Structure 1
Amino acid sequence: MARMEALTRAHTALERGHHAAALSLLTPLAEQGLADAQSALAGLYDRGLGVPQNYAAAAAWYRKAADQGDAAAQNGLARLLAGGFGVPQDQVAALAYFRKAAEQGAAEHQFDLATAYDNGIGVDKDPREAAKWYERAASQGLAEAQASLGVLYYTGAGVPRDLGKALELYRAAAQQGSARAQNNLGRMYTKGEGVAQDYASAVDWFRKAAEQGLPQAIRNLGVMYDNGFGIRQDDAAAIELYRLAGRKVTVQLDDVLAEIGLVYDHRLAPPLSTGDPAAELAATRAAASHGDPVSQFMLAHVLAQGLTGAPDLRQAGDWYRKSAESGLVSAMTNLGLLYLTGRGVPQDFVLGYMWINVAAASGQQDAVRVRDAIGPRMTSQQINEAQKLASARWRSARESGVLNQEQ
């Protein structure tokens, strides 16, 4: 009874976004062998909520729960095996776990299995088998399954080509908000495939998908403006949409880094804001030299921003490092950003990810954004190494009591 009460409290904490509390509640329950707790705990490690993102730990807990038949854990383990995150890549094993999860009936898991067959994960591409599983997920109303099944009917892969069926599936998914389906539905209206040609309807669907940021839809909407199809011809609007579409395709880590710059701890007063900035700087430097992490962070900020002269990112990096090692989360974020961009320190994605990961686990939202944008630039081996370093850094900081959480 006590275990079930603790599990209920853990799920309540998860629903409220209290991830650190959920982690504390779930860990002993998972260690006692409760599959639901093991699966939920794995999810925290998988997404880096309340703890540094750690695919190896996620895989270990997913496996324990998967072996007890937990479908979410089977699916989670399959994803990590497919990509080689936290475990050696094994796409054959991934397919087996995708199937175990899908056979328990959840639409999301059936969709993932269908996608594995569609993309040839652990098996040669098999559009017929993909169509079967997409159909099962689509019949439960899963929008992305409806959209993917629509693609198969549109192309005739794995099923007889049927434009009417494709249109029906695209429409069902589009009405649920699937940007991909909205764009595909717009294309069918543009070409008059399976439906009477209707440029105005095409514009409406392209716009809905474009508003969700889908690059293809943004470009397609640009084409409509460019040619005056279904809307008043507007060269300026077309050019802007083409530009935006091109940028959306290339948005990666650099864009996030450029937007964030370097972060400043909102709990601190602005640096050099007294009537005597020279005296304030001297006092800050003296306190930093004596090991005060807040002063170290503020001195680093002054140096990085060049508030008293030319920016000095090398010295700023040294002071950010001292502050980060003392547990100041904003310093961790900025040190990670310097490593990722190679400013003031040699560029090192592993060390950059390590510091960003610890900061993200501590609640620094800019760090969460960077961590989530960093993946495409790194190999699974680099991510696995960085996560090991981050977990060790996190444990050390927690044990020594120096970690300063973001408020």
Structure 2
Amino acid sequence: MAVRLLISYFYIVGAMVFLVFSIAAHADGGLGAKLGNPTGLVKEEVVGNGSSVQPWLIDALEKSAEHGTSIKKREVGLFFLYDLSEPENFVRAMKWLTVASNEGDATASYYIGLMYWEGKGVAKNGTEAVKWYLLAAKRGESMAQAMLGSLYLNGDKFSRTDVDGKEALYWLSLASENKNAIAQRVLGDMYAQGVGVDRDINKAFSLYKQAAMQGDEDAEMQLGMLYLKGIGTEKDAVLAMKWLNKAVDDGSGRAMCFIGNRYMYGDIVSKDFEKAIYWFERSAKAGDACGQDNLGEMYNAGTGVKQSDVDAVKWYRLSAAQGTADAQYNLGRKFEEGKGVAQDLLRAAALFRLAANSGQVDDAEEAWKRVASVIGSDKERAALELVKKLSVAEDFLAVLDSDR
């Protein structure tokens, strides 16, 4: 009886782990966003709750796996990986996932790749991770297919994956056919923007709807935007707000920012700066770069809130660290003017150059030339070195703040 209860509990845990991961692991999107950011696909860490258990339970789990199917072996591996996240149990996780993979289990192959990607129980190794993703993808694992498609779409230095539009389209299309919401949404972005495919907004709408129906929050937001603008479908403000609010309920900071912009500019709703602030704050606190930058703008201008350079800098910094070109430029202006932060022309120049490189071309380019002409050649070279560091930094703000 005890063994049967243990196995029943184990099956429940394994199913929950896989379901949560498959639904939760997805990238930020947007009609103007970088498509299928691979780090977003694995943004949640491979961790568990650190619970300690008695040795007899570990022995029972391993004995049940020894005589079980490849699925049971994989589930035991996932149990050690998530629920018993201690170094020695990562080794056990790798052992049982490898056994399951050797028996042909596609999902186990994917999770081995994820362990190499995250460096759990093994040294981080992007190329080794991609090897396992490829094996899993060929065996039909849709998350591995989506991951590969994203890597090929953008290219990735960590895994030494070159941009390959043909491979990206192949794997994302395959994952989409396998009902993977992430792939459907990323493909929707590709068709909406005409990246790697001919622009087809009707196809994008269809893909967003498929992903949204599965609970992908970014697809829910995109679907709401298309209904709002009447792109790829008829205008429908009711359906637009339905999907936008669904995205908000599912935690989409980008959707919160989008709603804030509607109140900011009086688009389909009455202009209301207080409500705009409310939504920008929710978005910013949810970690969304759009909300952070917009909230910084509100504090900078004193719109709907008391003007505060310090608060403007606070939110610009967070958004700039996520790669928002406008926020990088805005933060550069604060360093140039010495408002909300000590004046530092070298850092101002670096941020202007970075913003120009990131797409904020006109204003940032002009600002770079203005400041570079003042600081002299030595500091200009130092600013360019800082740009290089910031461009590849794992901790953008730590690099920006170093040696100050």
8 Å Cα contact 1:10/1:22 also seen in 2: yes
8 Å Cα contact 2:299/2:312 also seen in 1: no
8 Å Cα contact 1:55/1:80 also seen in 2: no
- Give structure 1 stretches of 5+ with no counterpart: 254-346, 353-369, 378-407
Which residue matches 2:214?
140
8 Å Cα contact 2:101/2:109 also seen in 1: yes
Which residue matches 2:203?
129
CA positional deviation for 1:93: 1.6
CA positional deviation for 1:7: 1.9
Report the residue type matching 2:130 in the other structure: A
1:63–1:221 distance in 2 versus 1, CA, 3 Å: closer
Moved >6 Å (runs of 4+): none
- 1:240 aligned to 2:310? yes
8 Å Cα contact 1:95/1:116 also seen in 2: no
| Counterpart Cα distance in 2 of 1:61 and 1:49 | 15
Percentage of identical aligned residues: 29
Corresponding residue pairs, total: 259
| Counterpart Cα distance in 1 of 2:238 and 2:267 | 8
CA positional deviation for 1:203: 2.0
Aligned partner (choices 106, 114, 121) of residue 35 of structure 1:
106
Q: How do 1:90-109 residues align onto structure 2 when only pairs under 5 Å count?
A: 90-109=164-183
| Counterpart Cα distance in 2 of 1:27 and 1:102 | 27
What per-residue deviation string (whole Å, max 9, x for no partner) do you get for residues 184-213 of structure 1? 101112222222333332221111112234
Which residue matches 2:136?
65
What per-residue deviation string (whole Å, max 9, x for no partner) do you get for residues 187-245 of structure 1? 1122222223333322211111122343432343355456665x5x5123xx2232123
CA positional deviation for 1:73: 1.9
- 1:10 aligned to 2:73? no
Q: TM-score by structure 1 length?
A: 0.55
SS in 2 for 1:235: coil
What per-residue deviation string (whole Å, max 9, x for no partner) do you get for residues 28-76 of structure 1? 3323432222122122223332222323222222222222222122112
Report the residue type matching 2:122 in the other structure: V
CA positional deviation for 1:25: 2.0
Which residue matches 1:116?
190
- Give structure 2 stretches of 5+ with no counterpart: 1-66, 324-385, 400-404
Q: TM-score by structure 2 length?
A: 0.56
CA positional deviation for 1:130: 1.7
Which residue matches 2:90?
19
| Counterpart Cα distance in 2 of 1:68 and 1:218 | 41
8 Å Cα contact 2:119/2:125 also seen in 1: yes
Report the residue type matching 1:235 in the other structure: Q
Where relative contact order (Cα < 8 A, 6+ residues apart) is larger, the structure is 1
SS in 2 for 1:134: helix
| Counterpart Cα distance in 2 of 1:149 and 1:241 | 33
SS in 2 for 1:123: coil
What per-residue deviation string (whole Å, max 9, x for no partner) do you get for residues 83-105 of structure 1? 33444432212112111111222
SS in 1 for 2:214: coil
- 1:44 aligned to 2:122? no
